[in-house]
A and B are shown apart, each in its own frame.
Chain A
């Protein structure tokens, strides 16, 4: 698991760190960490539905923020649990562009062991940073 939930930060909410050797891996890991709060076993989510996600932002961290928000949006608006597939990131003229496919299925409590509902991604201590091994994101989620 390229992510870890932290014990002693933001005690009413949930804090996690996610990692990737590339930005694409990092974004995928952060998405998994967010979904894993709501579903205990991500492997129980079958790939029945596909949603195309296209986002852009001048800042890399806000791009990740927007991606995670998209997943929360689909969870409420369409009751979809989604996992990232095919993440592509480009930087064109100072703007970061993300193109991705997210796949999953509708929430089914008899099949998915549900955890806590994610309300929002917060910007408290939120960051995407370069590390010697690649990339790391620090995220605090409002639950």
Chain B
């Protein structure tokens, strides 16, 4: 039993660890989970979220989503709303893979239409979208041009022919967050990233072909609004981030913050990975502007990948991507810190909401939700394990309780080291093929690490988010083809 004895039940899906639990906690820690999911959480979650609760400027609580698991610094599935005037910014609350996120793309094809071409499609995608260690992209640009790209995000891609204008409207921040400043990034970060545009990376990153079976449509009206209109409609979902560039930006500032945190700003933390600086300090603002470059690069990376996916489908079906109805549903990140305004005790305050492995889930009518989805709420894309399934959710009004944040995936329950001992990549690939899921990978050990059994039950996680009133189920997708990093 790893759940702390001090935990208090607030409701069937909300649990609270009080500030008396650990010295230095400024706010309680709130965990959103069913009792079963709570009991399944590893000890790291409770230790880490109560460490997070010591950060200066936190408002109300430090939050854990139902898919929470042991991370570094923050737990994965951690949310920290921090006052932008008095609080801090922490790279550990965002993650090294800045703006790592999900993109969901429609087709007007059904499973029966895709099935005969499945192997060909996956093979073509595997060829066109490099994955794994050392993957380099097809977009060849200079380091100077890369610096423009990171300030412009997806807009750079559209200008250079990698996508459609409408893609921007269907991307969080319209694919370009304002305030990105390439003067704040290191040469090292540029050198690491400028050849990797259009690559997936590895670990839990993937590109999947999925099917929306009629029995898995939970809310017909919302599904229609998001473009899921045909029985057994085929969609494409992919998960990746800001690659070596984003990782280096985070590493650079983690080191910079360590040097000034205590000596200059007298901030004490319980874990060096929570290194932080006052948001209003020079160091804090520099990181914010550099981190925004990584946000934009991540949007651009997914935009370029979308372009390649459209090309691959178009080649295989000998029809244009427009004709195949390959519109984006949405692109949303789960590793960010963003400024948002909330009413706290009758006052409007600006908060820097850190989401580490948690997805923003704005409700209907909110600013920042695309025009087309204003009445529906923001689409939330949840990547499950490659064997089980993934979800499309919608943000809801009651999400304000978690500062409009919800889960981001199914959440691991088994370490990678253990999964590799338990599963064998090649055997797993064959088993999945027998179940109708065709997988290509550059790393069989990497495939074994991502076995479905290493993850929580995604259905339980998503059900918990709905019961807790932080997002609503729309469609569950089942995988049929997968390119694995």
Contact = CB atoms under 8 A, between A and B. Distances in A.
B415 A79 contact: no
Given A116-B416, A117-B132, A117-B201, A10 B96 contact: no
Given A14-B417, A114-B442, A73 B192 contact: yes
Interface in B44-88: 44, 69-73, 76
A134 interface: no
A56 to B, nearest CB: 13
A40 interface: yes
B15 to A, nearest CB: 20
B126 to A, nearest CB: 12
Interface range for A: 35 or more
Contacts of B271: 123-125
Interface of A: 5-15, 38-40, 62, 69, 72-73, 75-77, 79, 107, 109, 113-117, 119-126, 140, 142-143
Nearest to A6: B417
Contact of B273 (A5, A6, A76, A124): A124
Q: How large is the interface on B (under 10, 10 to 19, 20 to 34, 35 or more residues)?
A: 35 or more
Given A69-B251, A116-B443, A119-B247, A107 B416 contact: no
A115 to B, nearest CB: 5
Contacts of B414: 11
Contacts of A39: 133
Contact of A12 (B76, B196, B275): B76
> Main SS of chain A's interface residues?
mixed
Interface in B195-236: 196, 201-204
A115 B446 contact: yes
Contacts of A123: 72-73, 254, 258, 271-273, 275
Contact of A11 (B192, B244, B250, B412): B412
B69 A117 contact: no
A123 B271 CA distance: 8
Contact of A120 (B191, B251, B272, B415): B251
Nearest to A38: B133
Interface in B427-485: 442-443, 445-446, 449, 485
B188 interface: yes
A115 B133 contact: yes
B136 interface: yes
Contacts of A40: 445
Given A62-B258, A109-B132, 18 more contacts: A8-B415, A8-B418, A11-B415, A12-B416, A14-B417, A15-B415, A62-B255, A75-B133, A76-B192, A109-B134, A115-B445, A117-B201, A120-B251, A123-B258, A123-B272, A123-B275, A125-B271, A142-B96
A12 B133 contact: no
Contacts of B193: 76
A140 B445 CA distance: 19
A114 B73 CA distance: 28
12 contacts: A14-B415, A14-B417, A62-B255, A73-B192, A77-B192, A114-B442, A116-B449, A119-B97, A120-B250, A124-B72, A124-B73, A124-B272
Contacts, number: 142
A13 B251 contact: no
A121 B255 CA distance: 11
Contacts of B446: 114-116
A69 B251 CA distance: 9
Contact of B133 (A9, A73, A107, A121): A107
Contacts of A116: 133, 202-203, 416, 443, 445-446, 449
Contacts of A5: 417
A140 B244 CA distance: 18
Contact of A76 (B92, B244, B272, B443): B244
B42 to A, nearest CB: 6
A11 B42 contact: yes
Contact of B415 (A7, A38, A75, A122): A7
B417 A7 contact: yes
Contact of B134 (A10, A79, A125): A79
Contacts of B417: 5-7, 14-15
Nearest to B248: A73
B251 A11 contact: no
Nearest to A122: B72
A117 B272 contact: no
**3 closest A-B pairs by CB:** A107-B134, A124-B72, A76-B244
Contacts of B416: 11-14, 116, 143
